[in-house]
Amino acid sequence: MAARGDRYTKLNRWRAAAAQVGQTGLRAPAVQLAVQVGIHLLLGAVLAGGVVFQKFSPFGVAMVAASGSGLCGAGALAGTCLGYLSLVDFSTALRYLSASILTFAVDFAFYDVKVLRRPWAMALVAGAMNGCTGFIYLSQWGWRTADVIYFLTEIAMTIGSAWCLRQVLLPLRQSKEDYELNDRRRFSLLVLVCCVLISLSSLHLWRDVSLGRALAALCAMAGAWKGGGAVGAALGVFLGLSMDLAGSGAPLYAMAFGLASLAAGACRDRRRPAAAGAFALTIAAVTMWTWDSAMQISLLFEVLLGTAVFLILPNDLLRQLSPLVSALPADGLSRGGQDYVRRQLEQAADAFHSLYESMRSAFRAPINNDADVSAVFDRAACRVCRRCTLRAACWERDYINTFNALNDATAAMLARGKGEAGDFPRHFVDHCLHFPAFLDAVNQELTALLYRRQYNNRLRESRMAVCRQYGQLSTLLDHAAAELSRELVPDPGKQRRLAQQLAARGLELDCQVFRDEYGRLRATLQGEDWREAARPDELPGMERALGVPLRAQPLDNSLSLVQLEPLMAVAGIAAKKKDGETVSGDAGTYFKREDGTLCVLLCDGMGSGPLASRESTLAVRLLEQFLTAGVDTEHALITLSSALALRGEEQGGFTTIDLLQIDLFSGEGSIYKLGAAPTYIRHGTLVRRVTGSALPAGLAAGEIGRPDCTRIHLEPGDCVLMVSDGVTGTGDDEWLRHRLADFQGDSPKELARTLITDSPEGATDDRTALVVQLEKRERIPKQA
């Protein structure tokens, strides 16, 4: 009450002063108030035109709830009324006008109630008013399940958008000069931008080219270029989702803008044309991938329009965008830490692109065939009974008896997959003049029916697998965002010592030293002398400065130093192809990730020869890309199994997967199996046998394709043996255990060769043995 009284008292004083001097002059507070009212009026008119799910317009009501009960609230209400009456059909406009007026009336009548001053209070009121008017309005046409879902979603969107709009507009009405741009207000500002873009998406510049979608592409492009890959991907998904809500509701634009922003974010350190080109080319690729049924060709023109505007925007304007998309404050994450996370995202994008290339040939257009059991007899009757003299008697006068006879035969036919004369009642067989021909036609149609059912089941499984791929992509983006949000702690003391060491060696380099989320030391060196620092004779001095053993990794125009693991692995591999084959169907590899995890992989393709080699090599290549990019191991295996299942529908084939992961910092490890042969672990003189029951990759998808996982702990001197089923065969493996127990640790490669050549089964299948021995690293530098 006091706040409103002060406002009107100031207004009366301004009128009295103007009357005394005989003229009317605009003072700064009056001009500022007029500007605020105008902004609220304009936003109310624009947001009222935002339509989601093709028939709901909740943002005008949310704008009224977020604007308060003063002059700004009245301006927002006036703008909302104008927008609804101008941009929405009259019957729908009446519903939202009622909700807006009721929301403003509650705020105006109960302005002095403290509960309504809380951030969520008026948002809940707006949701309740919109829900009440919507319930009355929508009840006239009845309620379907989809209507209930959309109605509840609209109420949630009303509440959420009202809260977000209040976070943005309240400091504007209070004229706060120290406007703190925290994460909550950044998100609220993004919601406001998305609401405006939804409203503008219905404004077409030419044919289907939308102004809102062009501006959404511009915002995603600019945000990705200034914020990097992770921020850009999240921003692209959010903006794309808003365009999907304004359209059909399918998450197509979210996928397109998310991938394009991820590509543009990879060009953060380059000039604007590189980011714009990456964004536009990714959109073009997505449009071509979904040419038949998904993206519209108008998206290309919208992106080209957004790209043109992005390229001519002033640098000062884009520079002001940095605080809005910065993932961390300026004094938080070092540039070296940002580069580390960016590389992880880029590798993940490459992995998913490789997965797409392997799946693309597996898709085929669906065939529209019915799978109704009654169609079997209808089609058989059309072929046989059309010219029969008893057609009228069987299918008209005695239709009930004919129907019952065919119905009695259906269950036995479907259970057997084929019809026989005994399945039909005797009176029907004796009465039918052409029964053998009718039975033959029924069997032909039944075979076609079963094929159609099989095809439809496979089609549904394929579609579900594609949906799971999108789920894995979402999981990956969430993982990338979590990686970026983790605090990479700078280490100023070690950074100072490293800088002194470099200066003493005469190397002019900028260095950043930080610890990753695991507490392990990392350093990035940038400058013209980075190649000199990469020489082997420079590494010991840097190790003494940082106090840990280091591994040097050359990057683009920089050098990365990573803390070296206290454990190391010595591997030995031996393989022998099946007699009479040109290539082996087994494939394997081992590699070390940046986090110090050793990955040892062995895959055995179905059968032997080139086809088995193709399947196992593909699985090794894809899985190595996923794991190198930092994708969760179980998610990577499930995704790969689903992809191979899709390929198997057209090209056949599957592969076993045996994966060993060892953390070389702690010795903790895991063994993942998809249909693979046993793995043997030797600790001292004891040998442990690890098996699994999961199906090979490509035979099952989704949760059914979840791998078996066994946790292990290894110490220096322990040994792990991985073999394909050609080594163990179907007989007793006691001989293999004795060989491993007697191994003295001299040469893992010699042990693998001995197991391959001395197997008692004979070379009836491809054979591969992979021996990994864990040892302690001796080189530990002394700190300077």
pLDDT tens column, 577-620: 887 788 888 898 999 888 889 999 999 888 788 888 888 898 89
- The helix (run of H) or strand (run of E) holding residue 525 is strand 521-526
Q: Which residues pair with 34 in a beta bridge?
A: none
Give me the helices (H) in 110-182, please.
121-138, 145-174
Q: Residue 247 and residue 240: Cα distance in Å, rounded?
A: 11
> What's the token pair of residue 14?
């301004």
Which of 12-26, 109-123, 562-576 has the lowest average pLDDT? 12-26
Comparing 181 with 696, the larger pLDDT belongs to: 696
Comparing 470 with 6, the larger pLDDT belongs to: 470
For the segment 32-46, the average pLDDT, to the nearest whole number, is: 87
Instruction: Quote the distance between the C-alpha of residue 672 and its chain's center.
Output: 23
Q: For residue range 668-688, list pLDDT tens digits in order.
A: 999 999 988 899 999 888 999
CB within 8 Å of 169: residues ≥ 6 apart? 40, 66, 67, 72
**pTM as predicted:** 0.48
Looking at residue 7, its amino acid is R
Mean residue pLDDT across the chain? 79
pLDDT band at 730 (very low <50, low <70, confident <90, very high): low
For the segment 432-444, the average pLDDT, to the nearest whole number, is: 85
Angle, alpha carbons 233-237-240 (nearest 5°) = 135
Looking at residue 745, its amino acid is G
Which of 114-118, 226-230, 772-776, 780-784 has the lowest average pLDDT? 780-784
Q: Measuring CA to CA, how many Å separate 659 from each of 202, 576, 664, 696, 707?
A: 51, 20, 16, 13, 10
For the segment 98-117, the average pLDDT, to the nearest whole number, is: 85
17 pLDDT more than 70: no
Other CB atoms within a 10 A radius of the CB of residue 16 amount to 9
419 pLDDT more than 50: yes
Q: What DSSP string describes 605-635?
A: ESSSSHHHHHHHHHHHHHHHHHHHTT--HHH
pLDDT band at 533 (very low <50, low <70, confident <90, very high): confident
Contact by Cβ (8 Å): 154, 134:
yes
pLDDT for 369: 46
Q: Residue 219 and residue 425: Cα distance in Å, rounded?
A: 72
Q: What is the 3 state secondary structure string of 424-463?
A: CCHHHHHHCCCHHHHHHHHHHHHHHHHHHHHHHHHHHHHH
- The helix (run of H) or strand (run of E) holding residue 72 is helix 71-87
Which among 255, 308, 243 is positioned nearest to 280, based on CA atoms? 308
Q: Please, what is the angle between helix 633-651 and helix 335-360, to 10°?
A: 20
Q: Residue 214 and residue 500: Cα distance in Å, rounded?
A: 51
Contact by Cβ (8 Å): 99, 58:
no
Q: Residue 62 and residue 169: Cα distance in Å, rounded?
A: 12
Contact by Cβ (8 Å): 355, 629:
no
CB-based burial label for 171 (10 Å; 0-12, 13-18, 19+): middle
Q: What is the 3 state secondary structure string of 529-592?
A: CHHHHCCHHHHHHHHHHHCCCEEEEEECCEEEEEECCCEEEEEEEEEECCCCCCCCCEEEEEEE
Q: Residue 669 and residue 772: Cα distance in Å, rounded?
A: 13
For the segment 365-386, the average pLDDT, to the nearest whole number, is: 70
Q: For residue range 623-663, list pLDDT tens digits in order.
A: 998 898 878 888 888 888 877 776 655 555 688 999 999 99
Which among 35, 98, 111, 90 is positioned nearest to 61, based on CA atoms? 98
Rounded to 5 degrees, φ, ψ at 99 are: -65, -40
